A and B are shown apart, each in its own frame.
Chain A
Amino acid sequence: MGRLVKFFSRRRSWSLPYVLFLAVFVVAPLVLIMIYAFQAEDGGFSIENFDKFVHQREAINTFIYSIGIALITTMICILLGYPAAYILSKMRASTARVVVMLFILPMWINVLVRTLATVALFDFLMLPLGEGALIFGMVYNFLPFMIYPIYNVLQKMDRSLIEAAEDLGATPRQVFSKVIFPLSMPGVVSGVMMVFMPTISTFAIAELLTMNNIKLFGTTIQENINNGMWHYGAALSFIMLIIIGLTTLFSGSSSEDGTNEGGLL
């Protein structure tokens, strides 16, 4: 008992409960996805699930299509969100805070209710449901996740760098393209991470926005799991995990020491 008290009187020991929790509820489940993915229905090691994915026309097509939709959504979010974040960063801090709040507020309404409302909006404006509605819905859902990290980075940016560039004779356009934009890249990267992957993997939203006409990869995964095809579903999830790993590597692991800029919300 005394030893236990002594153990927990050191602060670093306080991380132990959470480390155990992470091992059971984060690491072990991901390992399970991997195990299931490389297992045949009879339990032996096999790559038949991946073989099935490669040879199933529909799954591959959905996969590529989802990546396309996600790329478009991410691009639109950057194009719409960057100027918004930039304008916000120029505002007085107190005003900017209120506007940022306004951008985040809709997230308190259940995401499915919002999606159904988007459907109603499209009906109301007599627009057809389909690809356009899907992309609008995705942008609508994920735009705040793009604005917030970019705003965060822009707002913390060292003003003296901008002033230095101006003093050295840079035009406003040059200041933006050579100083502000490169310095805000970490925000853009975390914004992309917050938009791209969720777009590929959403399932319910896509279903509702297109009257079940367009399937995204998330829907494919969910259907397989629901129909008891756990191994195949796990293999599809594993493919997504690999993409996530690649995008994380690609973005240069911007998460130094847990205090990363994007931090989200």
Chain B
Amino acid sequence: MKKFFSTSYLVLLLVMLYAPIIIIAIFSFTESKVLGNWTGFSAELYTSLFSGGVSDRLIDAIKNTFLIAFVAATVSTLLGSVAAIGINDLRYRKRRVVNFVNNIPILNPDIITGISLFLLFVSLGITQGHATVILAHIAFCTPYVVLSVMPRLVQMNPNIYEAALDLGATPMQAMRRVILPEIRPGMISGFILAFTLSIDDFAVTIFTNGTDGLETLSTFIYADARKGGLTPELRALSTIILVVVLLLLVVVNYRAARQAKRAEEQAKQIKNYSRR
């Protein structure tokens, strides 16, 4: 009985969270210009999205979004991982200071990050465009990469690295053979997180994209919404993104579950073997 209540509570919350998204998904199969107005089933929005039925402005915005996210996530992952290795080796005082500054962009609301970077670019006289948006995204993504790599370094046995050096590995070899395999999962989740944050960002982008009309999906939608409505094709695009991410998650989870099972079986075998 208790279990029934707790399960239904979670289901209820999820229904609430998903209700708006389900509405988008349902209404991506009708042509109506206004979200919430059903004018019969049609896959028109999907075909129009892929056959050039949408404005070049939207296509550019989509391209920009993914380009910016990819570059920003890649650079943040490299910068953040190298930084985490370095920070972990700093002495206590310095490490605390760097970690404190690293947490600032995470605690700061987007709008403050956006405005502060806007003021920076303005005072340096840098023309705002692709470069400034990418730099800004790197600035707010890298701290998350550092945070996701750091625990793996902290948990690592420091003697392994020293042992590699004692056994004649150069520092670079020790880095590649010992530290890199250890932090790789943290780097991957850091990359994914950075990519997600960058795609979803609106507040930082709008303050750093300049006046040359550089648009990402977020700024495009914002401009669109202020004119009174969402471009219908975006319903189809959002649905596609949702399904793709859902599939990816299922695959990742399935693989993780299989790996866990295999590890368990191996452990059992070893146990049996040692008993003999």
Residues of chain A having any CB pair with chain B under 8 Å: 9-19, 21-22, 24-30, 32-33, 36, 80, 83-84, 87-88, 90, 94, 97-99, 101-103, 105-114, 116-121, 123-124, 140, 143-144, 193, 197-198, 200-204, 207-208, 218, 221-222, 225, 230, 233-234, 237, 240-241, 244, 248, 255, 257-259, 263-265
Contact = CB atoms under 8 A, between A and B. Distances in A.
Given A26-B101, A200-B109, 15 more contacts: A10-B89, A12-B86, A21-B142, A27-B101, A105-B249, A109-B21, A110-B217, A111-B202, A113-B221, A202-B109, A207-B226, A225-B115, A241-B108, A248-B107, A258-B146
Interface string B89-121: 111000110111111111111111101111110
Interface in B30-89: 35-36, 79-80, 82-83, 85-89
B230 interface: yes
A112 B225 contact: yes
Given A117-B20, A255-B99, A258-B102, A112 B202 contact: yes
Contacts of A244: 107-109, 112
Closest 8 CB pairs of A and B: A15-B86, A14-B86, A18-B83, A29-B116, A117-B20, A201-B109, A11-B89, A258-B99
A24 B118 CA distance: 13
B105 A19 contact: no
A42 B108 CA distance: 29
Contact of B9 (A13, A83, A123): A83
Contacts of B117: 25, 29
A95 to B, nearest CB: 10
Nearest to A13: B86
Contacts of B9: 83-84, 87
Contacts of B88: 11
11 contacts: A17-B79, A22-B98, A28-B120, A87-B6, A94-B257, A110-B200, A113-B24, A121-B23, A197-B109, A198-B109, A230-B122
